[in-house]
Amino acid sequence: MGRPAEVKTLPVTAKYARAALRWEMAKSAMGSAGGLAILLGLNPSVWVAVPVGIGTALFAIYGIHQHRRGGIQFEISEERISSLQRGRRIDIPWSALERFKLNFYAFGRKSEQGTLVLYVHGGGQRIKLDSAADEFATALFYAAQMARNRELTLDSTTIANLDQLGL
């Protein structure tokens, strides 16, 4: 998993890295185009067309999801963590932090490579931020610090992931 990148002083604004989003959207487009090529070019039987059609639709939905992620902005300050997407703002003051969770999702058999996903809950709101966002290390560091300050009970997976990162 490795250590997180540089932790910056607050306040910071985080967005998903454009290069990562472009790569994910390119994979989505390739999957969708491949599925459409099979469906339109080969005229497969229903037994082949239905699963290929479902796969093609899932690739397209994934691409739309990645496009939407590009519009999300996170703000981390000494008072709160916030998420702003399409005019909807979610604020979780650190004083209202109720739950902190950190998951690691590995890709294939390479357990060193994968995505960290941070979940912060408080005041009936939830913010999800993953390691594809710039300033993720700063958000993770301060969220972990606030969870520790508030003496929140953490699940074993979160504890193991924080230990692995030296936090």
Alpha carbons 144 and 89: distance in angstroms, whole number: 22
Alpha carbons 147 and 37: distance in angstroms, whole number: 50
Alpha carbons 132 and 18: distance in angstroms, whole number: 9
Tell me the pLDDT tens digit for each residue of 79-128: 999 999 888 999 999 999 999 999 998 876 666 678 899 999 998 999 99
Q: Which residues of 35-67 are buried (b: 16+ CB within 10 A; e: fewer)?
A: beebeeeeeeeeeebeebbeebeebbebbeebe
Tell me the pLDDT tens digit for each residue of 139-157: 999 999 999 999 999 999 9
Q: How high is the pLDDT of residue 111?
A: 64
Q: How high is the pLDDT of residue 87?
A: 84
Q: With 60 as the cut, is the pLDDT of residue 4 above it?
A: no
**What is the H or E stretch that residue 110 is in?**
strand 110-122
